[in-house]
Chain A
């Protein structure tokens, strides 16, 4: 751990010293040419795409987990559980391939629709609409982290004590009320930590988004325009032609990614620990 941080710092320092811009505020990434680069645009792209993916994936994943644990017929549930576990193991590069071959052309239509009718919301505004956008990358990320979140949530929902559910049923609760009063409160820490795990995955994900991201720089909330890049994707795309300075710059950006994911993971761990104390769910 410490060794990772130390070596990343050591290799990054020469590049940071050669940097003509400011590492935190410069909006361009040209370590090979003008030797001026900054992390801001990359970090922004990483966070926005990961958060968007999470917003799309979590409700669906919780729905899937509830379907498997409480709605589906018993025999089907076992099979579906296996299928979700298997899908969680599909390599990310496969999702990337699917994204660039199928989803990029496919997203052109919905993107234009959103831009035309919801363009007054800044999120969907902008002039140029393209399939290779931040939104498409987020969709791929969402599809990718969905099975992971669903698999963990399902495990947690299955661990809800039968007594709690039966008690709720005995009080005359409908199925939804059982879920709201017994299942969700018990499963909340598990779902939160699963989501954080998904967030970490989405931010660290490289290959799928490297194939899709439009690889241009700039901070813009217009997620339909061909703008945006992420730290990991930039490393994968820029590594091949990097000069020693460029390589150091990429390593420095990797260090930033490392710190961000570390913070997210620690936060998730703390949330789970605190929830446990409050709800007494550990017992």
Chain B
């Protein structure tokens, strides 16, 4: 092989890139920058409008009063009942779906290990991730309220939300548990520790921060859901702090309700509600990221 010589002498140096290729490169670069600009404009516009319009009514009265005895045309009124309802419903939904989701993930990773049952569960979790939120609301409506004859209540809303939340919790917890090195488990077994203690004392603490991050993100997503609440919680203008009895309100529902009323006062209230909602969701997201960053391996705790 080495004996074969090229008869022609190569020109030294690197040939310039042809004009066509250079043009195409520049063209695509321009396209990418353009698409980024196109995307940023409406997204920033949304945030800007929410902040600037929401601040008009974002005051103490808004945060501490309900809409009781306030007509659509009147100014004033607030979202206290809606904030209270949202917090209670999301809390209840978390209480239901976090334990169930976590235990499912533990089963999938620690016990199931590719068996038929765990593959089936995994498939269903995947499919459930894509369920439209209206459908989960309809399901609770059909099952809990129509078939079992329960009243509209915050609890029914929480049930619908937990259906949406559970797959997300399972997925993120499962991924975190899979990241726990097997060496840790084997070291624990080698010391004669039973399986359940290994899971509780070794696996879960190792994956803890990751799981918390996933759970916070799931909560943040569910907080903004409107459709299931619309079908299960119903509307009210008064404060109802009992999630088990009678219609409640939720912040997303409040925004939807007010936005549908064609008066300036109501639209202002809708903007302020949207601002409150975004603040809550962003706060949850930031907390999740902080927890993730605080204990991330790169910081070498």
Contacts and interface: CB of A to CB of B under 8 A. Distances in A.
Contacts of B252: 91, 93, 207
Nearest to A180: B28
A197 B260 contact: no
A28 interface: no
B114 interface: no
Interface string A51-93: 0000000011111101100010000000000100111011111
Chain B contact residues: over half helix, strand or loop, or mixed?
helix
A177 B21 contact: yes
Contact of A207 (B46, B47, B130, B256): B256
A63 B39 contact: yes
Contacts of A247: 141, 146
A93 B134 contact: no
Nearest to B253: A93
Chain A contact residues: over half helix, strand or loop, or mixed?
helix
Nearest to A71: B32
A98 B35 contact: no
- B interface, size bucket: 35 or more
B130 A143 contact: no
B227 A254 contact: no
Interface in B251-278: 252, 255-256, 259-260, 267, 270-271, 274, 277-278
A211 B260 contact: yes
B224 A93 contact: yes
A92 B134 contact: no
Interface string B122-147: 00101111111111101101110011
B33 A67 contact: yes
A46 B50 CA distance: 27
Contacts of A97: 50, 255, 259, 270-271, 274
A67 B37 CA distance: 10
B296 interface: no
B25 A236 contact: no
* Centre residue among B21, B36, B220, B260 by max chain A CB count within 10 A: B36
Contact of A175 (B25, B50, B128, B231): B25
Given A11-B147, A89-B220, A211 B21 contact: no
A147 B256 contact: no
Given A91-B274, A175-B28, 18 more contacts: A3-B139, A8-B142, A59-B35, A67-B35, A71-B33, A87-B43, A87-B47, A89-B220, A91-B226, A93-B259, A101-B267, A174-B21, A200-B132, A207-B226, A232-B134, A262-B127, A265-B126, A265-B127
Interface of B: 14, 17, 21-22, 24-25, 27-29, 31-36, 38-39, 42-43, 45-47, 49-50, 53, 124, 126-136, 138-139, 141-143, 146-147, 217, 220-221, 223-227, 230-231, 252, 255-256, 259-260, 267, 270-271, 274, 277-278, 281-282, 285, 289
